Amino acid sequence: MITADLDRELAASVAALVAAGTLPSAASQVTTAGTWRPAPDGNPASYATTVIFEIGKLSANAPVSLAAALATLRVFTAEPVCAHLHTVGTRLLHGCHALAAKHPGVVTGVAGVAEMSFLHYVDERTSTRVARACAARGILFKRTAYNFVSYAHDERVIDRTLGLLDEVLAEVAREP
């Protein structure tokens, strides 16, 4: 059965990534049951990195889900995905801190970590105005937690995002 073959290959891929140190040991718990299980190392932080696949016994697209997961793991094995996410995420996070300092009448703080961050705004109305103005410029910047970076983002995209966000924050600060 194709699902069983993909499931075995997926489990083997996860095991190889754990052995290489790319994924934490908690990720070795691959299940099709769709439930969170405690990490074998007992580390509560490992819950967030446990690899779980919600497939379902009667789902016609289970092989597609497994194939997509396997393709993702192949990219993680061959390319420095986590390092890239941290690099571009750090650029975004530091840029957000700079924008918060530059626009204190609009932004009250920055939260999150490199790979996922967001701005705190002075109020809900301001938050909505910033989100709408960003969207009008082609940037989907969430008003609340979290803005995630992806492997498709590069320094140019991050810099463009920060530049447009700077324009929007200045515009919102000028409006009554």
Domain ranges of the chain: 2-79, 83-174
User: Is domain 83-174 given the CATH code 3.90.1150.10 in the classification?
Assistant: yes
Which residues have C-beta within 8 Å of that of residue 15, sequence separation ≥ 6?
28
pLDDT computed for residue 77 by the predictor: 83
Alpha-carbon distance of 11 to 27, in angstroms, equals 10
Q: Is the pTM of this model over 0.75?
A: no
pLDDT in tens, 12-36: 666 666 666 655 444 444 444 433 3
Q: Which long-range contacts (CB under 8 A, 24 or more apart) does 79-84 make?
A: 79/151, 81/151, 82/22, 84/151
Does 147 have pLDDT greater than 60? yes
Q: Is the pLDDT of residue 90 over 90?
A: yes
Q: Please tell me the least confidently modeled range out of 35-44, 113-122, 143-152.
A: 35-44
